Amino acid sequence: MSYQGNSNVGFRALYESQNQRNHKQSEVEELTRQTGENVKGYLPKLKKTDPTFAAMMHGNKPSPGAIIDKEIQDEEEAMLRRKSNASARKKSESY
């Protein structure tokens, strides 16, 4: 006995094609070309690098752990910048 097509799982309106709002790839590329912004990729990169991003996007206050992670990340980035500037100065002084 086959039950194909007789699923009662989920909200039926989600699966009807006229309710889906997918954008054509060509439209996304055209928007990227017109605005000069990376429309396809800037948000996922921000999600990966900012621990408070998800909460802020949903209008919530970031958790204390996420805030601490963000502070640590900022401190480490500043330390790396100082180290790279110091090493660049040493290289320029040695020549």
Residue range 71-83, pLDDT digits in tens: 999 999 999 999 9
Write the DSSP assignment of 20-63 as a string of letters. Answer: --PPPHHHHHHHHHHH-S-TTTHHHHHHHH-TTHHHHHTT-PPP
Measured CA to CA, the distance from residue 90 to residue 58 in angstroms comes to 46
Q: Which of 27, 55, 57 is nearest to 42 (CA)?
A: 57
Average pLDDT on 1-17 reads 58
Q: What is the pLDDT of residue 63?
A: 95
Measured CA to CA, the distance from residue 66 to residue 88 in angstroms comes to 33
Measured CA to CA, the distance from residue 40 to residue 33 in angstroms comes to 11
Supply the pTM of this predicted model.
0.49
